Structure formats: C-alpha cells, structure tokens
Structure 1
Amino acid sequence: MTVSRRLLLGATGLLLGACDRLSMNPGVQRGLAAAEGLTRRAQRLVVNRTALAQEFPEAQISRDFRANGSIGPSDPEYRALVRGGFADWRLAIDGLVERPLSLSLAELRAQPSRTQITRHDCVEGWSSIGKWTGARLGPLLDRAGLKPEARYLVFHCADTLDPNATDGANKYYESVDLIDAYHPQTILAYAMNGQPLPVKHGAPCRVRIERQLGYKHAKYLMRIEAVADYAHLGRGKGGFWEDRGYEWYAGI
C-alpha cells in the first residue's frame, strides 16, 4: 500500500496535537530525543547531503499559498521597520564567527542568490508550492568565517509568538546544523513569486530550508548566530516549537 506524504503529514499533525501533554513527560522526552537522533543519522546515511528537494515548474505554483504562525507581528520594533519600508532593517550574522556581518536589505539582495520553486510541507498536514529568491546562506557563512567550534546556526526572529512565556522562550527562533545550513537550497529569501516577500510570509527575509518541515523556515529574520550548542537558548530544545514538544530534526 502506498501512503502519500500529505497523509503522513496530516497524521503527524494529529499525533503532535493529541500527544502534546504526554510529550511533556521527562521519560517520554528522553525516548523521543533518542529516536529523533536515530532518524537523523539514518537519513543522513541514506540520503546524499547535497541531494535537492524536488523543484517544480511555474505552472504548479499555488494560487493561494497559505500563511500560518505569525502573519503580522505586533512587536513595536518590527512595526517601525514595516512603516519605514525596512530601510533600517539589518541582518546580523555573528556568534562564533571571525568576521561578524551586518547587512541591509539592499546588501543582502546583492549577494550570490538562488531562485527555486519548491513545496512547503506543514506539520499540520497541508502543502503549498511557491517560488523563492534569496541569498545563498553558505557563501555568507564563508564570508563571516565560522570558527572551528561552531556546530549550529540559530535564527533569531522579530515576532513574539508567546507573550506569556517568562523563561526566555517567547520569541520565535529556530536552529539547524551546518549540513543543512550549507545545503544548496538553503537561502535567505527576500522575494516570493517574483515580488518582495509579503509581511504575512515573513518580510523582509525568511530562511528556506527545503528539506525540512515548515516550522524550521523561520520568518521575520533579524539575526543568525553561530553557536557550539543551543542548550542555553529558550528552553534548550533548539527552537520555539521544539521547546513545546516538536522534534528538532524535521527532515523530509
């Protein structure tokens, strides 16, 4: 019997919702973490590290690409950037790097870029196809010069998704290892379907990590931090939703 990816994603979404309380059990968390590590290692063994996610012709671009999560952050700093047309927005690339960067939107658009038409697979069970243009992350990391101890990148975002959190896990953030960071399709997207990235989809810049589920594609990007580990960030699980029970490695 053949099982579609959409059905699998839908089942995953239902399971995540139904098992959220169970996943907070420390014993269950340790078991899930061990299984996730095994899944990541197995996938890395059987899938070429530079294998591309499927790309599509323009005729298959979704007429209505669904937006979810934050679609219009109310954070004062972000609203000021929107009012100014993102003229004052800058992307920091720092942490464990030799040459920290601070790039304006115009400077980011001048970097080596890539355009790709790919499918966005959400853990909730839906998919949409969009055309993305953005700066390739790998060359920017080379320009910044990662230090030998750097193992992960953390994407810090402008949106507060949980204003009630008091433990540092209120802002959206995500992280990936250097294998996914250097993947050819990992880009800092500033355009969607040939137009500047809309606010509801993460303006002025979001990361696209095409071999990962949608929650890894952080929107409203403000800073990329190279780190040795992410245990000191948020609740220590490597991302906003990971801190709330989702798996860190979301490869598809």
Structure 2
Amino acid sequence: MVSRRNALTIGGGLLVAGCDRIAATRTAQHGFKGAEDLTYRVSRLLTARDALAPQFTGADVSPIFRSNGTAMPRSPEYARLAAANFAGWRLHVGGLVSRPLAISLESLKALPQRTQITRHDCVEGWSAIGQWTGPVLGPILQFAGLSSTARYIVFHCYDDFGGTQYYESVDLVDAFHPQTILAWALNGRPLPVPNGAPVRLRIERQLGYKHAKYLRAVEAVASLDQVGGGKGGYWEDVADYAWFAGI
C-alpha cells in the first residue's frame, strides 16, 4: 500500500525526472502553485489544528541523528557565539508584536518545556527519530503581544547559503501548534552544532527543510511578499520547494 507521503514523493520524482522542460514554463509554474495552494487548503480543512504528529518511545530513537544542510555556519558572529558556549546568544522576537523580545539561552531553558520523540522526514528521502526538548513557540508569541494583523511567522538563521542567510516561515496554525517548539536539546543533551545549536525550530507536521536551524530571530509579518524572493523560504525561492510541506 502506498502512503500519501510516498505517493507524493513518487509523483514528485516522476515530475522532476520527466518534466523539467514543462516545469520551466509559466503555465506549469502557475499549475504547480495552484496545486500547492489546494493541498494547503484541503489539509487545513480536513486536519484538526491541534492534531499531533506521531510520537515514539525512547526505544525508537535513532542511534545517530544525522545532520543535513549546513554543519557549521560561516558567520563570524556565530563563531564568536559558539566559542563562548552561546552565552551571548539572543533570540530576537519582533515584527508585528507590541513587546519585542531578546531571549537568552538560559531564559529560554527556564520557560516551561516540552519534550517529544518524533520522526524527522527529510525531502532527500531519509528519516530519523530523535528526542527534542524546548519551549512551545505559541506562548512566546503571545507574551510578545502578537498583532492581530500578523499572518505568518518568519524564522531567520545564522547559516549561510551563497551569501544569503537561511530563512523559513509558517502560518499561525503551525506556529501555535503544541508540537512546534524551539528545541535546544537533542536526546537529552544540548543541541550539537551540526544539528542547529543553540536553538532550532521543530515543526513536526512538516518536512525537514521547514525545521530551521541556528535560529537568531523570529519575525511576525502580515505577508510573505517581502520575505526573500516572496515564496516564504530559502529553498522555496531558489529551488521551487513547496511552501506548505505538510506530512
């Protein structure tokens, strides 16, 4: 039996393999965007906002949780922070909020914490199960005084791709989901640098590229038009990845 995720992966592979020339046309691009929008709307219609991604037990944890993408940001600022064990790191929460925040790592750890064991599904085709610990994002946004005009939450990162720092975004449904956390620990230990230290996003109902690593800022916005190239994320802009990567 082919699962929904496998069917999408297989279908996507066939499209990439056989339809490169077609995909380059404006008509096809509009068609793919329309299909993505439809998938997003149907998912929001059929899936409860607080429906949880599958959770596992300690016996299921992968012996190695591999890293992908950047293993060490090239930013001089990040290098200085890492050398000081991230004592000077601050997570800036701003944009459409009434009380901008600058949260230290120790303050983040002092907040109420959630620990969850979940599966990370990478768009490259591999999966791993890990235990993550960190505060839930929603209450932090509420404390910052999220504006009623905010529609999306953008995550800005330290890792650099060809001169552009990584960025991603989600809507408020996923931002306030109970499993969306700012993880500082993996498998009971401080997050290793290759896995996104000091803090990364865990958004368990979406594919791995949405789980932004090396967080430096969280920004509330009304529109994604001015975020990068306007599609809401780095890979969405440079490689036409789907903005909604729900699984």
Following the alignment from structure 1 to structure 2, what is the Cα–Cα distance between the partners of residues 20 and 207? 32
Give the counterpart of 1:215 among 195, 209, 224.
209
Residue ranges of structure 1 left out of the alignment (5+ in a row): 164-169
Query: Residues 92 and 190 from structure 1, CA distance in 2 versus in 1: closer, same or farther, beyond 3 angstroms?
Result: same
Determine the structure 1 residue equivalent to 2:195. Answer: 201
Residues of 1 paired with 2:99 and 2:112: CA distance? 18
Shift of 1:46: 1.2
The structure-2 alpha-carbon separation of the partners of 1:201 and 1:5, relative to structure 1 and needing over 3 Å to count, comes to: farther
Quickly say closer, same or farther: Cα 1:198–1:27, change in 2 above 3 A. Answer: same
**Structure 1: distance between partners of 2:35 and 2:16:** 19
Contact 1:90 1:103 in 2 (8 A): yes
What pairs up with 1:1-252 in 2 under 5 angstroms? 2-4=1-3, 7-8=6-7, 11=10, 14=13, 18=17, 23-163=23-163, 170-243=164-237, 244-252=239-247
Residues 161 and 20 of structure 1, relative CA distance in 2, 3 Å threshold: farther
TM-score of the superposed pair, with normalisation by structure 2: 0.94
SS in 2 for 1:44: helix
Could you say which structure has the greater relative contact order, defined with CA pairs below 8 angstroms and 6 or more residues apart?
1
Aligned-pair distance for 1:11?
Answer: 2.9
Q: If the length of structure 1 is used for normalisation, what is the TM-score?
A: 0.92
What is the aligned partner in structure 2 of residue 167 from structure 1?
none
4-13 or 84-93, larger mean C-alpha shift: 4-13
Tell me the percent identity. Answer: 59
* Aligned Cα root-mean-square deviation (Å): 1.7
Matched position secondary structure for 2:170: strand
Q: How far does the alpha carbon of each residue in 1:112-146 deviate from its partner, in whole angstroms, 9 at most, with x for none?
A: 21000000001111110000001110110110011
Alignment partner of 2:108: what SS?
helix
Query: Would the alpha carbon gap of residues 41 and 49 (structure 1) be closer, same or farther in structure 2, given more than 3 Å must change?
Result: same
The count of corresponding residues between Structure 1 and Structure 2 is 245
CA 1:210 to 1:77, structure 2 compared with 1: closer, same or farther past 3 Å? same
Q: Give the partner amino acid of 1:11.
A: I
Q: Unpaired runs of 5+ in structure 2?
A: none
Q: Which letter maps to 2:181?
A: I
Task: Read off the aligned partner of 2:182 and give its amino acid letter.
Answer: L
